[in-house]
Amino acid sequence: METLIIAIVILVFSAILHEIAHGYVAQMLGDPTARLAGRLTLNPIPHLDPIMSIAVPILLIVSGSPLIFGAAKPVPVNPLMLREGRKDIALVALAGPLTNLALALIGALLLKLIGSTSPTITEVLFLVIRFNLALGFLNLIPVPPLDGSKFFSIVMPERVAQQYFALAPFGIFILFLLLLATPMGDLLNILILNSMQILGI
């Protein structure tokens, strides 16, 4: 039970930092919407989504899934306030997964420096690395509304991009279908494990 709670806390805060990164980059590019909505905070309450932040991670952990992920409530972004339109939307989107990959790298460095001092610290840092690699790579998948779709869309004509983003309400179902019914879930897990090896974990 204690391990489950630790895992959920790490996953939730990893997802929250992902969303805060979106909000900060959006503000740097001209859109203060996330700040005005009170979303540039480490207080988990404004960020929590009952399904994606709690129910999905618990279900994946309890079921023994090799791929564990979750999500915080998306921060609001107003594309009309961004200075360079679709280019800035892509940069805002990329900020989230890059933050998770950076957290995984920091976790790996800390594990090498202090991980051996305590089994608990080792376990926590291991989960930080694994969960953030999962969140980083998963969000780069180009399925709306995942961040990868916004980055991928910059190469599309405007009209095609609008049709592409119309898939967003069905995105979570498409994602689960891809992960459960195609080799994508296995490939993503292999990518995570290979990345951990590269980091020396």
pLDDT value of position 191:
95
pLDDT value of position 30:
95
Q: Mean pLDDT of residues grouped by 10 in the chain (201 residues)?
A: 85 95 97 96 92 86 81 92 91 97 96 84 93 96 93 85 89 88 92 93 83
Active centre residues (catalytic): 19
Give the type of residue at 32.
Answer: P
Domain boundaries, the chain: 2-198
pLDDT value of position 176:
86
Rounded to two decimals, the pTM is 0.93
Contact criterion met (CB below 8 Å) for 74 and 145: yes
